Amino acid sequence: MFGISWIDLVILVLASFRLTHLIVYDEITSFLREPFFTIVYEPDDTGQMNRQYRFKGGKVRRWIGELLSCHWCVGIWTAVLTVAVYAYVPAAYPILLLLAIAGAAAVIETRLYM
């Protein structure tokens, strides 16, 4: 059985959340997404701007682009990664903790500006 404390679970959840956001949305990792899609904003009938994806390349490249544009999809893989790192690379715990702190800060900041 894989035992985990509640505080470590919270750290893993927040670290996975922040890593997912980093991959899918943050400008600093746009170089990862750029080969697979571009983002354009188009107005709808009410004038609100909607985010649209323009996928590039063939089937495989498009599939990778669809994966990288989906926070639910990337979230599963970042969860797998964070649990694996937690279980098999104990020296990386400080990195998970830093991601968790950044994730918690993002949640707090989002709530403050709603």
Tokens of 41: 């904003």
Quote the percentage of the chain above a pLDDT of 70.
97
Helix (H) or strand (E) holding 40: strand 37-43
* 114 has a pLDDT exceeding 90: no
Query: How does DSSP classify residue 4?
Result: -
61-113 per-position pLDDT tens digit:
999 999 999 999 999 999 999 999 999 999 999 999 999 999 999 999 988 77
CB atoms under 10 Å from CB of 78, counted, come to 22
